[in-house]
Amino acid sequence: MKKSLLFLFATICSVSLFAQPVITQNPQNNVVCIGACEDFTITAVGNSLTYHWQQLDLTGWNTVTSSSASSYTYCADSLLDSVLVRCVVEDNMGLTDTSNIAYLSTDSCLAPVANFEFQIFGDSVCFENTSLRAETVLWNFGNGGQSSDYSPCYDYMDFQIFTAKLYVFNDYGSDEIEKEIDLLGLEELSTRFELYPNPTLGQLFISSESLIESIQVIGIQGNVVANLSPNKAALSLDLSYLNKGVYLVQMTVNGRLSHQKIILQ
């Protein structure tokens, strides 16, 4: 009986002594700020373990450090310093286990910088968000209207001067900017020309107190379907070849742009 117990104990010790190392916790993906350092860590069980940390490059997996330390520190100097790493755990018998691959991405860790441009189409304005590092945004159009779309278009339904404001946010801060949207000047300009009939079956008549330098007819997708340089104060356009729908007529008079929507029936 004693011999059997001794044999069983010896067997258990032998299995425990020569068991292959096992990784119980893999390194995790992480983000590091430029100029800072982050640690990859791993947990494994086995005998007299050595941790071979490796990085993937064009030639394959290359060992960058081998020691008894179960963590590896990586420092980022630029946005190009993102890396893929893994760890090969080896015991004193040469048996190994290999971890999952972890990805370390770099981030500027800078707050956003707000900015935008805009185009006026009659009483509608399309905003182009040109902010840097903005993850979420909030627009205040100056008349109570708001939007969280990145680059919205907005119908003001009035000819006034509005102040549009953009707020931008990311994990590292926020910023804001405001710009004046002058629709009042467009109303003054629109009183100096006529565009009729609207809606139209195809024939469109335009007259102005001054020479019309250019005319563009723009579809709802932003595509230019007609482009003229009449240099005259009155003309007619035949739009019967176009599909029915809503179009934007953009005119330049005395160097200033004016826009008006038309409906083609």
Q: For residues 57 and 124, state if they share a domain.
A: no
Beta bridge partners of 216: 227, 250
pLDDT, residue 16, reads 46
Q: For residues 45 and 124, state if they share a domain.
A: no
Q: For residues 19 and 46, state if they share a domain.
A: yes
pLDDT, residue 88, reads 97
Residue 2 lies in a domain: no
Residue 5 lies in a domain: no
pLDDT, residue 201, reads 92
What contacts 228, CB < 8 A, 6 or more positions away? Answer: 214, 215, 216, 235, 237
CB-facing half-sphere around the CA of 58: CA atoms within 13 A: 0
Residue 130 lies in a domain: yes
Task: Output helix, strand, coil percentages for the chain, rounded to the nearest 5.
Answer: 10, 55, 35
Task: Tell which of 126, 158, 184 closes a domain.
Answer: 184
Q: What is the count of structural domains for the chain?
A: 3
Residue 6 lies in a domain: no
Domain residues for the domain of 44 are: 14-107
pLDDT, residue 207, reads 87
Check which CATH number belongs to the domain holding 256 and give it: 2.60.40.3080
Q: For residues 212 and 255, state if they share a domain.
A: yes
Check which CATH number belongs to the domain holding 180 and give it: 2.60.40.10
Q: For residues 144 and 102, state if they share a domain.
A: no
Q: Are 66 and 52 in contact (CB under 8 A)?
A: yes
Ramachandran bin of 81, using left for φ above 0, alpha for ψ from -120 to 50, beta for the remaining angles: alpha
What contacts 2, CB < 8 A, 6 or more positions away? Answer: none
Residue 3 lies in a domain: no
Q: For residues 147 and 226, state if they share a domain.
A: no
Q: For residues 206 and 172, state if they share a domain.
A: no
What contacts 80, CB < 8 A, 6 or more positions away? Answer: 106
Q: For residues 18 and 99, state if they share a domain.
A: yes
Q: For residues 23 and 95, state if they share a domain.
A: yes
pLDDT, residue 259, reads 74
pLDDT, residue 156, reads 86
Q: For residues 203 and 180, state if they share a domain.
A: no
pLDDT, residue 246, reads 84
Residue 212 lies in a domain: yes
Residue 215 lies in a domain: yes
| Cα separation, 233 vs 248, whole angstroms | 19
pLDDT, residue 12, reads 44
pLDDT, residue 13, reads 46
Structure-token pair, residue 114: 């707000």
Each residue's pLDDT expressed in tens, for the chain with a length of 265 residues: 555 544 444 444 444 455 789 999 999 998 888 888 989 999 999 999 999 999 999 899 999 999 999 999 998 887 667 889 999 999 999 999 999 999 988 888 899 999 999 988 767 888 999 999 999 999 999 999 999 999 999 988 777 889 999 999 999 999 999 999 987 765 544 546 788 898 999 999 998 888 889 998 988 777 889 999 988 888 999 999 999 988 888 888 877 777 778 889 9
Task: Tell which of 84, 107, 130 closes a domain.
Answer: 107
Q: For residues 78 and 135, state if they share a domain.
A: no
Q: Is this structure's pTM higher than 0.75?
A: no
Task: Tell which of 133, 164, 184 closes a domain.
Answer: 184
Residue 25 lies in a domain: yes
Q: For residues 97 and 138, state if they share a domain.
A: no
Q: Give me the residue label for tokens 């755990």.
A: 89
